Every structure is written in C-alpha cells, then in structure tokens.
Amino acid sequence: MVSFLISMVVLVIGYFVYGTIVEKVFGINPGNKTPAVKFNDKVDFVPLPAWKVFLIQFLNIAGLGPIFGAIAGAMFGPAAFIWIVVGSIFAGGVHDYLSGMLSVRHNGLSISEIVGVYLGKYLKQVMRVFIIVLLIFVGTVFLVGPAKIIAEMFQNGWGTGMWIAIILVYYILSTLLPIDKIISKLYPLFGIAMLIMAIGLIIALFSGVYHIPEITGATMRNMTINPEKTSLFPILFVTIACGAISGFHATQSPLMSRCIRSEKEGKKIFFGAMITEGIVALIWAAAAMAFFGNVEGLNFAMADHENNAAWAAHEITNGMLGNIGGILAVIGLVAAPITSGDTAFRSARLILADIFNYDQKLLKKRLLMSGPLFIIALILSQIEFGIIWRYFAWSNQVLAMVVLWTVTAYLMYKDKLYIISLVPAIFMTLVCSTYILLAPEGFELNHILAYGLGILITVAISLLFWNYAKRKRIPGITMEIVE
C-alpha cells in the first residue's frame, strides 16, 4: 500500500514540478492567438472552456488503455508501478504536451504534418499513411471491443454484430457533426464518470481487506507465469501504453489544439490529462493485483480466461464496487473506448483534410473524407480481435517514438533544452525495435540476438537523426506559424 501511495504522490508532484519545467522549456506566449480564436468555423475550430477541453482530452486519450493495459501490465508485478510513474511524467507528459502545443503553434495541424515540418517531407508521407492506418486500427479496436463487452453483459439476443452496427452509426454521427454538438456535451460527463469509478476503486482498496504488493527487491522482477516468453523488457513498456506513453495521444491533441483559448491552458490540458490517465492506470494496476489476492493470483485468473482483460475489469468493478460497479462498468468499459474510437475516426478525417487541403465546413465534404474510413473499419472488424490489438499496440508505440524525435528536432532548432525529449526518444526507439524482433507478431528472435539488434537499430536511428538535425539546424530559426 505504501508503494502505491508514494507512486500517486509522485505523479501529482510530477505534474506541478516537471510539467512546469517542460512548459518553461517550450516557452508559452499568452499573447498568441490560438487556432480556435483565429479560425473559429463552428465545426472543428471551436473555443471551449479549459475544464471541458481537459475532460474531452482525458477521455479521448484514455479509452480502454489505462484499464486493460494496466491490468495486463499488473501481471508483471509492482514493476508496472515504476513504469506508469516514470513513463507518465518523463515520457508521456513530455510527448503529449509538446506535440499538443506544436499543433497549437501550427494552426491546429495534424501530427503527420508537424512531423513533416521538422523531420522532412519524405517521413511526412510515410507518417501520413502510418497514422491513418493506426487510427483505423484504433477505431476498429474500439468498435469491436465495446460491442463484445455489451453483448456479454446483456445477453439479450443481440449479438456482437448488431452492437457493432449500432456503435458504427454513432461513430458516423460524432465524426461528421460539429465538435460542440455531441463530443463537447457528452464527453465531460463520461470523463467524470470514469474518474468517479477510479475514486471508487481507491476507496474500496483502502476500506477493504485488500493487499497491494510493495516495491521491494524481491518483487522488482518479472512475475508473469512464463517470464521467458513474456520478457519484462520490452513487453511491459508496450503493454502499458496509454497509462505511460502512447502515440495515439498525439493524434488526439490536434483536436483539442483547435479548441484551446490560450496557450496558458496547454499544461493543464495536455500534461494534466496524461498525468490523470497515469493515476487511473496506477489505480487499475493496484486493483488487479489486490482483487485476485496477489500477482500470482492475477496471473492464474487471467490464464484461466485467455488473458481477457475485459473479463478481469468486469470482475473487479462488480466485486469491489457492487451494483454501482456494474453501472460504472458500463460507462467505463463501454463509453470510454467508444469515445476514443469516434475521435480516432474524426482525427483521421482531419488528417486527410490536411493532406488534400480540403475544407471541412460542408457536411458532404466531411462525409467524403470519412466514408472510406468506416468501410475499411467494418471490413477489419471481421478479423480476430487479438490480432488487430497486438499490431495496434506496437504501431502505437512506434508513433510515440517518431513524435518524440519530432519534438526533439523542434527543441534543437529553437536552441532549447532538447534532452527532455531526447532521452525518452532513444528509450522508446529501443523498446519498439526490440519488441518487433522478439514478439510473436514480429520476428520471434532469441533474446540475446533481439537485444543486440535492438541496440544497433537504436544507435543507427539516433545517429541518423543527429546528422539530419545538425544539417537542418539554423540558429534562431522560427518554424511556428502563430499569426
């Protein structure tokens, strides 16, 4: 319990201390007009109150990530606490804040276009395709996942296919309609409900007879059933993504960069939402370890149910929160991922609009950009869910890696303290390269070879970046578009 409490406190301190450092390194200018103010089109560029933007951002980036990922990550033991805390503050917070503020400075541009500004037009083309594919994966995952959960919860004769159709109709409406019609009205409510569920779990943990494992020399190891098959590095760092660092967040931040009224709100919205998500992930990881008795009990329970995190989440909420837990589970396990799925499609629409410089004021133009996305997602929904999820998990962290290199280039060009993003960029490069070499969906190489090649790939990418950035660096260069 002590380790859990200390982790919570460190996350909060991280927001106020390190979040302020990152904000100062970036250098906000309250006098700059934000995209929401300059380009208010009452569709995507709409000034909204900071508290509302925060809740929308939190719900956008959360989804199933800080729940399912945290439960699966808890199978490794208390090492998950360390990654959630360190990742949220020094990787995820930096990633989310800088990518979000760069979008603000670039008139709300999508992340693929920002990558092009700082890492070149060739990588921009690659990232355009990569990010759209990733967002379709996200939309499909958060289309099929909630449909399966609803079908299992209610069992009223409506199968998964029927719920997929219903959710898809909602996705179409929320993607096409102005952001203040559905998203700005429903999301804050769902965001509050998700936070209430997390608070309820904390109260249950403290008031019940639960034991949360401590971080000790004995527990700081891989505590999964088969540690040889599921190595702590790099699998833990891909398993817990949204609760530590996630590239998906960088696709969502431009949505909110078009709604922020002042640059002063950036820390609260981007860094703050990431830290809040880290707290939620920490709570779920602790609840998973405690509810099933210990880490070993969690591992055996998950093994008996095919590592189904949805089942575990449902058991935890009902077991720890009772009937209220069942209601909150519907909101937390269904509404939260659905609200990430629809904004994934909305982000993809905006990226396509940026690519083709296609105005989105008219409904028919928005439909033209988003229609093909829904057709592809419907086709992908027929593929086995686990396959889509595994490839999404890795590609998600690859995007985080690219975004970190992008913001590092920006900080270098502006003669700012670029080490704050350089270190996590190098680390995430090692995570992503090693993972794809080790994982079943990758090359399945033996550990020694995978780690060796992962280090070589990381060094090579780091040197390529350094050479590129040095060649392009011009003292005093200004790349932001603020007027």
Over residues 176-232, the pLDDT tens digits come to: 988 878 878 887 887 887 888 888 899 999 887 899 999 999 999 999 998 888 899
- H-only helix segments in 64-120: 70-74, 79-86, 93-105, 111-119
For the chain, domains (ranges, CATH) are 2-379 (1.20.1740)
Q: What is the DSSP string of 143-199?
A: HHHHHHHHHHHH-SS--HHHHHHHHHHHHHHHHHS-TTTTHHHHHHHHHHHHHHHHH
Strand partners, 106: 481
In terms of Cβ atoms closer than 10 Å to its own Cβ (0-12, 13-18, 19+), residue 446 is: exposed
Locate 261 and state its tokens. Answer: 């009224």
Instruction: Indicate left, alpha or beta for 159 from its phi (over 0: left) and psi (-120 to 50: alpha).
Output: beta
Cα-Cα-Cα-Cα torsion 60, 61, 63, 69, nearest 10 degrees, comes to: 180
Distance CA 37, CA 262 (A): 9
Locate 208 and state its tokens. Answer: 């019940």
pLDDT in tens, the chain (483 residues): 899 999 999 999 999 999 999 999 999 999 999 999 999 998 889 999 999 999 989 988 887 778 889 999 999 999 999 999 999 999 999 999 999 999 999 999 999 999 999 999 899 999 999 999 888 888 887 788 788 778 777 776 788 888 888 998 988 998 898 887 887 888 788 788 788 888 889 999 988 789 999 999 999 999 999 888 889 999 999 999 989 999 999 999 999 999 999 999 999 999 999 999 999 999 999 999 999 999 999 999 999 988 888 788 878 988 888 877 667 666 667 777 787 788 889 888 988 988 888 888 888 889 999 889 989 888 887 776 566 666 778 889 999 999 999 999 999 999 999 999 999 999 999 999 999 999 887 889 999 999 999 999 999 999 999 999 888 765 444 556 554
**Contact in structure between 216 and 5 (CB atoms under 8 Å):** no
Task: Write the DSSP symbol of residue 78.
Answer: T
**Contact in structure between 402 and 249 (CB atoms under 8 Å):** no
pLDDT of residue 330: 66
pLDDT of residue 188: 81
Distance CA 147, CA 373 (A): 19
Nearest CA-CA partner of 8 in 104, 87, 62, 84: 84
Q: In the chain, what is the straight-line distance between the N-terminal and C-terminal CA atoms, in Å?
A: 51
Burial 192-223 (b: 16+ CB within 10 A, else e): ebbbebbebbbebbeeeebebbebeeebeebb
Distance CA 121, CA 133 (A): 19
Locate 155 and state its tokens. Answer: 């069992």
pLDDT, tens digit, 9 for 90 and up, residues 4-52: 999 999 999 999 999 999 999 999 999 999 999 999 998 889 999 999 9
Locate 293 and state its tokens. Answer: 């008795």
Look-up of token digits 């719900």: 59
pLDDT, tens digit, 9 for 90 and up, residues 357-380: 888 888 888 999 988 998 988 888
How much is the CA Rg of the chain, to the nearest whole Å? 21
pTM over 0.85: yes
pLDDT of residue 379: 85
- H-only helix segments in 362-481: 363-380, 385-413, 419-438, 447-472
CA distances from 166 to 144, 151, 369 (A): 11, 12, 21
Locate 81 and state its tokens. Answer: 């606490």
